């Protein structure tokens, strides 16, 4: 290891960001990594900007920056990603939670009462972020997360327990609704929806590091939706709500598939933080109310 050159925390941060030339958010990435190394929040990082960074911390920070410079996602480096204001442990076995997936939670909150004792199914649960976020908004709800990956289920169980939802959340291995019995008031899903032909267009940090099974779904990216929709009859409660994330260019095709099962006047589009189409759902309660 080269001789240590003393550097302030602020200068180390600037140097780290300068090394992340392949990142769209170099300053943010470097700041998250430095906070992780130092165990501080944003306020403390600013307050300590002129303090000298210890040799061990500087070495670790440099190593983490090098990992990010090779395109490894920040969330996999730190092992944590926030979603819906909740901290989730993540690993390369699960898809990294995206803020835009919050469109599903927003739709559920808008369409169902906080005190309803909903039974929730989260299909392709991954880290468990959608299920746990839903349980945080519906304190009387019970939920089950389904994933074919045992490693992903282990991550989801850890998150549910750490966030205090362990008694209201269960997890089961399998494909979509096939391992479940009974009916559900709310079914949410963020399945793989990228066409295999689009693999070369993905960002390097996604293509090289995130689990392929959570990304790709056949030649048009719609295979998972077809499988889920085939399984919905018999699992959806009367007046149930279904929310599914998809790519911004897939909402029309997904709505068309849903139309095979749900009346047209119950189908709606979900929008992300940038007002881009982010998913499709249908609400059988809306139909019952005649609106």
Predicted confidence at residue 2, as pLDDT, reads 57
* 93-117 core/surface letters (b: 16 or more CB in 10 A; e: else): bbbbbbebbbbbbbbbeeebeeeee
Phi, psi angle pair for 91, to nearest 5°: -145, 170
Beta-carbon contacts of 247 under 8 Å, excluding residues fewer than 6 positions away, are 193, 194, 221
Q: Alpha helix locations (H) across the chain? A: 9-19, 26-38, 42-47, 55-69, 74-78, 102-111, 129-137, 150-162, 204-209, 223-231, 251-258, 284-289
* 180-198 core/surface letters (b: 16 or more CB in 10 A; e: else): beeebbbbbbbbbbbbeee
Correct CATH for 93-289 of 3.30.930.10, 1.10.443.10, 3.40.50.2300, 3.40.50.150: 3.40.50.150
Cα dihedral across residues 91, 95, 98, 104: positive or negative: negative
Per-residue pLDDT in tens (0 to 9) along the chain, 291 residues: 456 788 999 999 999 999 999 999 999 999 999 999 999 999 999 999 999 999 999 999 999 999 999 999 999 999 999 999 999 999 999 999 999 999 999 999 999 999 999 999 999 999 999 999 999 999 999 999 999 999 999 999 999 999 999 999 999 999 999 999 999 999 999 998 888 888 888 888 888 888 888 888 888 889 999 999 999 999 999 999 999 999 888 999 999 999 988 888 899 999 988 889 999 999 998 644 444
- pTM for this model (two decimals): 0.91
Q: Span 9-70: which CATH code?
A: 1.10.8.10
Q: Where are the domains of the chain?
A: 9-70, 93-289
């Amino acid at each position: 290891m080269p001789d240590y050159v003393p550097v302030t925390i602020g200068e180390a941060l600037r140097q780290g960001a300068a090394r992340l030339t392949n990142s769209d958010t170099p300053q943010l990435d470097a700041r998250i990594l430095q906070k992780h190394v130092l165990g501080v929040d944003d306020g403390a990082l600013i307050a300590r900007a002129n303090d000298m960074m210890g040799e061990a911390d500087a070495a670790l920070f440099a190593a983490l920056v090098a990992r990010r410079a090779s395109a490894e996602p920040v969330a996999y480096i730190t092992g944590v990603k926030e979603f819906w204001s909740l901290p989730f442990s993540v690993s390369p076995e699960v898809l990294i939670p995206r803020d835009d997936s919050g469109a599903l939670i927003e739709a559920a909150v808008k369409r169902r009462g906080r005190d309803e004792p909903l039974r929730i199914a989260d299909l392709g649960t991954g880290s468990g972020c959608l299920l746990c976020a839903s349980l945080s908004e519906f304190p009387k709800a019970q939920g089950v997360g389904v994933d074919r990956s045992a490693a992903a289920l282990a991550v989801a169980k850890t998150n549910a327990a750490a966030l205090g939802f362990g008694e209201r959340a269960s997890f089961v291995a399998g494909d979509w609704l096939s391992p479940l019995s009974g009916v559900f008031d709310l079914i949410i899903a963020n399945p793989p929806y990228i066409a295999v032909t689009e693999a070369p267009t993905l960002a390097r940090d996604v293509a090289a590091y995130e689990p392929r099974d959570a990304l790709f779904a056949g030649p048009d990216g719609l295979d998972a939706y077809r499988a889920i929709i085939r399984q919905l009859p018999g699992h959806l409660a009367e007046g149930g709500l279904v929310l599914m994330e998809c790519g911004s260019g897939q909402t029309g095709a997904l709505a068309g598939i849903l139309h095979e099962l749900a009346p047209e006047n119950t189908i709606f589009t979900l929008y992300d933080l940038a007002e881009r189409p982010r998913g499709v759902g249908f609400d059988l309660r809306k139909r019952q109310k005649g609106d």
